[in-house]
């Protein structure tokens, strides 16, 4: 039986090591600012607005603090989201944006 050698594993090993390091860094983040998740690029591609501030202004809701944001009526905000985006709810919008953020952070 002949033995075969596989070449190029050094590059794969290096890539996997980088992925592990990026995953460790991402897991250390306890909270992520909303503008890192709902970036200008994400908002402009998925809404008629240029950034999250404009999106919120047009929604008629004020969210200068986390407490303000938590006090927003979810059903009314979801209605605004479903009317002005391709998403059915704000949670869906955050989930998709969060996936993009994680992929970018992991560099995959």
Q: Could you report the per-residue pLDDT of 99-108, keeping only the tens digit for each?
A: 898 888 777 6
Question: What is the distance between the alpha carbons of residues 98 and 32, in angstroms, rounded to a whole number?
Answer: 10
CA 42, CA 26: separation in Å to the nearest integer?
19
Considering the chain, what is the average pLDDT of its residues?
82
Band of pLDDT at residue 25, cut at 50, 70 and 90: low
Q: Where are the domains of the chain?
A: 9-106
pLDDT of residue 6: 59
User: Which has the higher per-residue pLDDT, 101 or 86?
Assistant: 86
Tell me the angle at which helices 90-106 and 74-84 cross, rounded to the nearest 10 degrees.
70
């Amino acid at each position: 039986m002949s033995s075969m050698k596989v070449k190029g594993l050094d590059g794969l090993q290096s890539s996997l090591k980088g992925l592990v390091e990026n995953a460790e860094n991402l897991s250390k983040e306890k909270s992520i600012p909303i503008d890192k998740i709902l970036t200008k690029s994400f908002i402009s591609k998925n809404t008629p607005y240029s950034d999250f501030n404009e999106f919120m202004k047009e929604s008629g809701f004020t969210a200068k603090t986390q407490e303000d944001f938590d006090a927003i009526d979810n059903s009314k905000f979801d209605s605004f989201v479903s009317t002005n985006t391709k998403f059915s709810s704000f949670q869906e919008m955050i989930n998709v944006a969060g996936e993009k953020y994680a992929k970018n952070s992991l560099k995959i």
